[in-house]
Amino acid sequence: MEASRPYPARTGIDPALLSLETALCLAHDRNPTEARQLAATKMVRIAPEQRTPIVEERAREVIGALLSGAASGPTVREPRETLALPPGRM
């Protein structure tokens, strides 16, 4: 999260991608709970107009990394359900 400190909370895509990249690293580092929480929180808070295909693709990569470490449960279910919601419905 240190990389996102220079950005205000709602500046756009860059902080969202940085947060999802951090979540991806956490998932690869076998910290699924923290990865899930960060990814789900970021997807809930991102403005609908900023939920672009690249942001959604990065979120899917986080889910894929979580799936490779855990077959089911809230670790994977919450971000997957969040991503399935239409923009602005989170």
Residue 2 lies in a domain: no
> 72 with 52: CB under 8 angstroms?
no
Which one has a higher pLDDT value, 50 or 19? 19
**Quick check: pTM over 0.75?**
no
Task: HSE, CB side, 13 Å, CA atoms: give it for residue 19.
Answer: 27
For tokens 């470490």, the residue is: 69
Which band of pLDDT confidence, cut at 50, 70 and 90, is reported for residue 51?
A: confident
Indicate the number of domains in the chain.
Answer: 1
Residue 4 lies in a domain: no
Domain that holds residue 30: 10-84
Which one has a higher pLDDT value, 17 or 2? 17
pLDDT of residue 24: 93
Output the CA–CA distances (angstroms, integers) from residue 34 to 12, 40, 48, in the order listed. Answer: 22, 10, 24
pLDDT of residue 25: 93
Residue 51 lies in a domain: yes
Residue 28 lies in a domain: yes
pLDDT surpasses 60 at 10: no
Residue 3 lies in a domain: no
Residue pLDDT, tens place only, 59-75 = 889 888 888 775 445 55
Residue 19 lies in a domain: yes
Residue 89 lies in a domain: no
